[in-house]
Amino acid sequence: MTNTMWGGRFAASPAEIMEEINASIDFDKRLWRHDILASKAHVTMLAATGIVTKKDAREISKGLDQILAEMEAGKFKFSRALEDIHLNVESRLHKLIGPVAGKLHTARSRNDQVATDFKLYVRDEIAGLDAAFAALQLALVTMALEHAATVMPGFTHLQTAQPITFGHHCLAYVEMLARDRGRFADAAKRLSECPLGSAALAGTSFPIDRNMTAKALGFTKPTANSLDAVSDRDFALETLADASIAAMHLSRLAEEIVLWTSPQFGFARLSDGFSTGSSIMPQKRNPDAAELVRAKTGRIAGAFQALLMVMKGLPLAYAKDMQEDKEPVFDALDALKLGVAAMAGMVGDLEINADAMRQAAGREYATATDLADWLVQNLGIPFREAHHITGQIVAMAESKDCDLKNLKLSEIQAVEPRVTKHVFAVLDPSQSAKSRKSQGGTAPTNVRREARRWIKRLEKDGLSR
């Protein structure tokens, strides 16, 4: 038999494979709460405008509440024959209250209905992600404050560059996550236009009040163009793009945790709670949680590309292709939420080996730039010349297989006679880090100030250490 919700035009049932490819209830049932919320707002508006009677509206609303209770209790039976969440709800409503249930769909279409449900879902997910990112920021800020003066090597090209503080390194990720939160907040602002009332594509002839439904659902206003409203998935694409960037940031931090916890670095250790073992090598401690966070970036970025390809060739307005919009969003946001939570746990769990960091910061001539700066500041040598002189001194230290601070003054003076014993003060990694007091620099005083500023900011988000 044909689907009773739309089958009047059809004399025969869909092919079995058609039913299989057409059904979306297996994944869009996740929208059940949002679908009922939007339906209640819609029927309340229909009653307020006189399109349906208040009695019918009360009966419909009561039925929707019963369906909501069934779903919350896990007792609702979803049917693949009814295709999607919208028809499943409407069919159950009809069984509960009879033909009056059919009035719920007055002045709307599944096209504006699904766009509204999907926006409500994405908006809720963004709010949850913001709280999760804030928690990760707090974990990083707490670590930064604790290790404001812990010296480590800073890298470029993954080669030792200059001494920095571990606290400064942590705060770099706090800034990245702040931009992520800002992007998601921007996406939430742009999606805050309500599609409900756009109907299939052209609007409706019923005297509906779209401002009323928009306000009831927490949107700032109704969408301005019915064609755009039902065919727009920019809000999902933008959220996936933001998720891809955020996942990339998590992946970079995950990669560093993998490096730091390796015996070759020895900068940090993860507890058993965030490590796994090997089925064959008893000694192994694998940072699998970090590796999985790193790997999930691929599926999140892939989801963005998948939806982009779905949308790129579609003429206005709605096309069934757009049924493929939800699964990538659901999967990507689930993966991102899991990754953020795992990363917050790992950051809070890290045991930092400050001695190993400090020793590494003193190797590979990390204070060479400090030596060049000393030549500029104390001898008035142009930086390019100071750079060349320092390079010669580094080459000498390398030939003697020693650090810069272990060279004799006479050896340094053989390259530049005007150098004094005071030069050795700047060759200490801790002093190097302390000297970087410029705005945004790595000095412990800067780190403590920035960490405290971030703590106050995060406390406004309702978080506390």
Does residue 20 register a pLDDT over 70? Answer: no
Q: What is the mean pLDDT of residues 232-252?
A: 98
The token pair at 203 is 């609007």
Mean pLDDT over all residues of the chain? 93
The token pair at 285 is 């401690």
d(CA 28, CA 56): 28
Active site residue 249: no
Q: Is 105 left (phi over 0), alpha (psi -120 to 50) or beta?
A: alpha
List Cβ neighbours of 103 (8 Å cut-off, separation of 6 or more). Answer: 43, 46, 52, 56, 60
The DSSP line for 194-208 is E-TT-TTTT--SS--
d(CA 465, CA 450): 15
CB-based contacts of 269-278 (< 8 A; 24+ apart in sequence): 269/350, 269/351, 269/353, 270/346, 270/349, 270/350, 270/351, 271/349, 271/351, 273/345, 273/349, 274/342, 274/345, 274/346, 274/349
Which residue of the set 79, 157, 275, 387 is catalytic?
157
Does residue 175 register a pLDDT over 90? Answer: yes
Q: What is the mean pLDDT of residues 409-427?
A: 93
The token pair at 48 is 């307020």
Q: What is the mean pLDDT of residues 412-419?
A: 94
Does residue 82 register a pLDDT over 50? Answer: yes
Q: Which element (helix H / strand E) includes 160?
A: strand 159-165
pLDDT of residue 6: 52
pLDDT of residue 11: 61
pLDDT of residue 276: 86
The string of pLDDT tens digits covering residues 430-462 is: 999 999 999 999 999 999 999 999 999 999 887
d(CA 103, CA 82): 18
Q: What is the mean pLDDT of residues 100-106?
A: 97
Sign of CA dihedral 120, 126, 129, 131: negative
Q: What is the mean pLDDT of residues 341-366?
A: 94
Do 287 and 349 meet the contact criterion of CB atoms below 8 Å apart? no
Does residue 362 register a pLDDT over 60? Answer: yes
pLDDT of residue 5: 57
pLDDT of residue 12: 64
d(CA 440, CA 443): 9
Q: What is the mean pLDDT of residues 170-185?
A: 98
The string of pLDDT tens digits covering residues 294-347 is: 999 999 999 999 999 999 999 999 999 999 999 999 999 999 999 999 999 999
Amino acid residing at 214: A
Which residue of the set 39, 278, 387, 430 is catalytic?
278
Do 357 and 267 meet the contact criterion of CB atoms below 8 Å apart? yes
- Between the CA atoms of 329, 330, 335 and 338, what dihedral angle is there, to the nearest 10 degrees? 130
The DSSP output letter for 423 is: G
pLDDT of residue 15: 67
Active site residue 278: yes
pLDDT of residue 216: 98
Does residue 257 register a pLDDT over 70? Answer: yes
pLDDT of residue 172: 98
Do 328 and 335 meet the contact criterion of CB atoms below 8 Å apart? no
pLDDT of residue 23: 74
**Share above pLDDT 70 across residues of the chain, in percent, rounded to a whole number:** 95
d(CA 142, CA 451): 8
Do 144 and 170 meet the contact criterion of CB atoms below 8 Å apart? yes
pLDDT of residue 353: 97
From residue 318, give the alpha-carbon distance in Å to each of 84, 111, 112. Answer: 16, 7, 10
Q: How many helices (H) and strands (E) does the chain have?
A: 18, 6
